[in-house]
Structure 1
Amino acid sequence: MSASLTSAPERSAPPLGLRLHSRWTALAVLSTGMLMTVLDGSIVTVAMPAIQNDLGFSPASLSWVVNAYLIAFGSLLLLAGRLGDLIGRKRMFLAGTAVFTGASLLAGLATSPALLIAARFLQGIGSAMASAVSLGILITLFTEPRERAKAIAVFSFTGAAGASLGQVLGGVLTDALDWHWIFFINLPIGLAAALLALPALPGDRGLGLRAGADVLGAVLVTAGLMVGISTVVGVEQHGWTSARTLAPGALAVALLAGFVVRQSRARTPLLPLRIFRSAAVTGANLVQMLMVAALFAFQILVALYLQKVLGYGAAETGLAMLPAAVVIGAVSLGVSARLADRFGDRSVLLAGLTLLVIALGLLTRLPVHADYVRDLLPVMLLAAGFGLALPALTTLGMSDAGEADAGLASGLFNTTQQIGMALGVAVLSTLAASRSESLAAAGRTAPEALTGGYHLAFGVGAGLLLLALAVAAVTLRGAGRTTG
């Protein structure tokens, strides 16, 4: 059995007076907030060429439309999760939703690269505030195992399918209207989420700042993650061995090492190190980091292959990715919870990861002149593995979180997701670009060189998933057994 994260009782009853239908309404609010965040993360990718042409981004600066969001989001999740525990998770969710919605308006109105990048950074801050506490709220509302499994399946579906749907919407909105609308679409979603959250989410006063106001720890971890993530996402431009990578990388390591030392000595640590005594929490976070890094190859590089090699437009690319969103949604909502109830979360996770390994393995064989039905549709259908893996992984990652640490565990789980995404961007995109350049120098045509680069990235992604499988098999042994 894995260790509990807190000495408080492992499970607490839902807030008094919160009826069943109210809890599911609260879940709908949390899922809407998640949908908004995930859509924003993926909807931008398809619209990047249009944004570059309209605002005059240079090729080097264009990546900061994504990086500014990623850096703010990934570096602040841990702090936001702990602050949610201290000042109240409902307050943090509402404040984050308000910041994100306002920043979306600013992004949609942007008339210069600097303004759009600043708005994207603010969006990342708002996303971190809202996302960091969402899972913490969910697990305190749904305490019965089967009910919690269903709730997590709904929440995971929103995240998993939303990423693919974002590419569809991004393509359609960009082609039918213009790129500004990929940000304006957040306004009605954000307003609806905030208005519904006021009566639907349970009020919580939090533990109070004195219970964990570790200011030095907060500065160290936020600065360390911000420097570290910005270093990783800059690798594609500067290279792994350049001074602009090694110097800030060393600084990030030093800051994070200082944070760990601080947490071992602080009277009220921001991240109590006891959280890592749980094999389920530690293993699930590590598996998630590897899985998300690998699936960058699926979500982003497949879209680039469709556009740059096969010549698909933005809307066509989104529609080509739609079957993946459909199967992920169907499996997340209709299958994953029942399978987990029968076979256990660990077994479902291993099955999902196996399907994803096969999917990326097939992508390493993509031809330059691919037929969609023969070469790509089977891969889209195998994306069902993500619909199996993510709910099971989320359940395992939050399984030992008590009332006092729910926001912290939620923030940690989201942080490892963002670190995995940053690593995927840095490693796989760099490998693909380097391989494509060498093939082009050897005389291959542009489509052949690009395809060869993507093949390498897909192969490395499959290797990361195999490593995730091994970690899950070893560290999660005995975790996530069936509940009945």
Structure 2
Amino acid sequence: MELPKLEEPRSASLYPVQSRIEGPQSFPREIAFVGVLCMAQLMTQAALGQSIAPLHIIGDSFNITSPGQLSWIPAAYSLTVGTFILIAGRLGDLYGHKRFFIAGFLWFGFWSLMAGFSVYVQRGGGKGAIFFDVCRAMQGIGPAFLLPNAIAILGRTYPPGRRQEMVFSLFGATAPSGFNLGAVFASLFAQTAWWPWAFWIMGNICFLLAIAGYFAIPHTPPPYLKKDSSITAWTRVDGWGSITGIVALILINFAWNQGPVVGWTTPYTYIILIIGFLFLSLFGFIETRAKFPLIPRDALSTDTAFVLGCVAAGWSSFGIWVYYLWQFCEELRHASPLLTSAYFVPTSISGFIAALTTGMILHRVPASFVMLLAMLAFMTGTILVATAPISQIYWAQIFVAFVVTPWGMDMSFPAATILLSNKMRKEEQGVAASLVNTIVNYSISIGLGMAGTIEGRIGGSGVEGLLRGYRAALYFGIGLSGLGVTIALAFGTSHFLRAKREKEVQADGALDFEHRDIETPGGPSVKIEGGSTL
């Protein structure tokens, strides 16, 4: 993959020297090392799957029937995953990635347990649904610390090349498998035992992974900070930028997801949205003047803007695809959560093949072409689901959608991660990983909020009403993925024109060299023709 070379830094560096991590010294240790880090991605997606699969069973236990309120169960989780990643990456860059990786699993485990215990709040006559949504939001802070620090450790351990590309591709390949595992086990417990057991078991697994991470991840050298007493920790973390950015993302996301629940005519929804955009503007103003900006200026280029734009459009479409495909199978085709989980199994196989393929072609084809293929996969999968008849057999459109869509996930994520990783310093790998993961998870949550608004406006009761609402939301997903295709085409056109200009400049330089006059010492000038020396 043709990636832009790292330019001279345009912003201050946190460290005077680059920082690398010494990798595992044996192949078995490397397997354990990469495996534990990949579990961060797997468990993140498993937590999403464990709430979507038994969504209506969980909703019934809290007496929730409104589609807008149900959508909060997965959206609250994605909200905090996408919101807190940026600050988590910076903290890892400053104080050590390994310690925040382990702390992320411990936090993840604790709030997974609390999410399961929320059922007792409901039984006690309290507002269990609200407490459950809060627990889901707090649960998402764990992956927010896991993902950027896991990718940062990989980025600091493996130099750019084939091995790094394969490792990042494997990291992305665990996403569909993680979602399916979470969905399968949550469905099993919901149908045969009790749905809270899925959260309690996940909590204990997270605790075990924290212990495994302590032993499997090699020593992460402490960062060598510049000894300058005038630079405070608040400045290094970009405190004001972090606060305004987090507040902006939370308010905007809350407004978009609360709108379908209470209606956009309710004043506080659009007031919160306006305040959120004001905080977002303030965040941008602060970042232009920050000594250590939360988003390093080194990462801001035309290429990264195109790539992140593709990721935002594609993954918001994916969030709509997976949520409404699940509702389509359960509510309209009357499939059980466990059977629907079985329907999703091909995504694991297809995703693994897509990840390996991406790892092999990333160094051979331009990033714009990889992104175009990913966006086309997202769009094709969404079209297949949006147009599928209720009575059609599984092996027609739905199965094909399960095979095609994972290619969008496992081509766009590794390509974007590697591009950002190679664009930034080794000591800022946490921030590089944060940018991609923030866009991925925040886009999923925002996309669900927008789709929920559309479904609430157009859908209705009964089979026909539900189908109309689901298809309207999926058509919106098609539009988002189509936007991703357009951005990818613009990215490719920009890349082609830039390469063409570079060739013309090189050709002009070579021509000037071939025909320039060279003065020989003590003699007349000698004209060089065709590169020969006279």
TM-score w.r.t. structure 2 length?
Answer: 0.81
The counterpart of 2:220, out of the listed 194, 203, 207, is 203
The counterpart of 1:227, out of the listed 251, 276, 284, is 251
**CA apart distance, 1:319:** 0.9
Consecutive unaligned residues of structure 2, counting only runs of 5 or more, are 122-127, 226-232, 500-534
Query: What per-residue deviation string (whole Å, max 9, x for no partner) do you get for residues 414-439 of structure 1?
Result: 111122112210122222332223xx
Equivalent runs, 1:442-453 vs 2, <5 Å:
446-453=462-469
**CA apart distance, 1:401:** 2.2
**CA apart distance, 1:347:** 2.1
Partner of 2:335: 312
Tell me, yes or no, if the aligned pair for 2:311 and 2:412 is still in contact at 8 Å.
Answer: no
Q: 1:344 to 1:351 in 2, by over 3 A?
A: same
Query: What per-residue deviation string (whole Å, max 9, x for no partner) do you get for residues 357-413 of structure 1?
Result: 222222232113221122321221222422333322332343312212211121121
Distance in 2, matches of 1:290 and 1:474, equals 14
Are 1:339 and 2:356 an aligned pair?
no
Aligned-residue Cα RMSD (Å) equals 2.7
Partner of 2:230: none
Query: Any idea what SS the aligned residue of 1:143 has?
Result: coil
Are 1:19 and 2:25 an aligned pair?
yes
Distance in 1, matches of 2:386 and 2:294, equals 43
Equivalent runs, 1:294-443 vs 2, <5 Å:
294-332=317-355, 334-386=356-408, 387-437=410-460
Partner of 2:191: 175
Q: 1:26 to 1:34 in 2, by over 3 A?
A: same
Query: What per-residue deviation string (whole Å, max 9, x for no partner) do you get for residues 130-177 of structure 1?
Result: 223222111111113101110011100112332344333322232132
Tell me, yes or no, if the aligned pair for 2:18 and 2:427 is still in contact at 8 Å.
Answer: no
Partner of 1:74: 82
Distance in 2, matches of 1:264 and 1:121, equals 30
Query: Any idea what SS the aligned residue of 2:295 has?
Result: coil
Distance in 2, matches of 1:116 and 1:176, equals 22
Tell me, yes or no, if the aligned pair for 1:217 and 1:270 is still in contact at 8 Å.
Answer: yes
Q: 1:460 to 1:158 in 2, by over 3 A?
A: same
The counterpart of 1:456, out of the listed 468, 472, 476, is 472
Distance in 2, matches of 1:410 and 1:55, equals 36
Q: 1:67 to 1:155 in 2, by over 3 A?
A: same
Query: What per-residue deviation string (whole Å, max 9, x for no partner) do you get for residues 309-357 of structure 1?
Result: 111111111111222232112322x322123233344323322322332
Tell me, yes or no, if the aligned pair for 2:379 and 2:482 is still in contact at 8 Å.
Answer: yes
Consecutive unaligned residues of structure 1, counting only runs of 5 or more, are 441-445
Tell me, yes or no, if the aligned pair for 1:169 and 1:318 is still in contact at 8 Å.
Answer: no
Distance in 2, matches of 1:396 and 1:160, equals 22
**CA apart distance, 1:231:** 1.3
Are 1:134 and 2:134 an aligned pair?
no
**CA apart distance, 1:2:** 5.7
Distance in 2, matches of 1:152 and 1:428, equals 31
Are 1:51 and 2:58 an aligned pair?
yes
Query: Any idea what SS the aligned residue of 1:343 has?
Result: coil
The counterpart of 1:101, out of the listed 99, 105, 109, is 109
TM-score w.r.t. structure 1 length?
Answer: 0.89
Partner of 2:519: none
Query: What per-residue deviation string (whole Å, max 9, x for no partner) do you get for residues 100-129 of structure 1?
Result: 111112222231214433322321222212
In terms of Rg, which structure is larger?
2
Partner of 1:42: 49
Query: What per-residue deviation string (whole Å, max 9, x for no partner) do you get for residues 172-221 of structure 1?
Result: 23213221122123234313321221133241323553761322222211
What letter corresponds to residue 295 of structure 1 in structure 2?
F
What letter corresponds to residue 53 of structure 1 in structure 2?
D
Partner of 2:274: 250
The counterpart of 1:33, out of the listed 37, 40, 52, is 40
Larger mean Cα displacement after TM superposition, 29-38 or 426-435:
426-435
Q: 1:272 to 1:13 in 2, by over 3 A?
A: closer
Distance in 1, matches of 2:6 and 2:81, equals 29
Distance in 2, matches of 1:337 and 1:56, equals 46
Q: 1:3 to 1:31 in 2, by over 3 A?
A: same
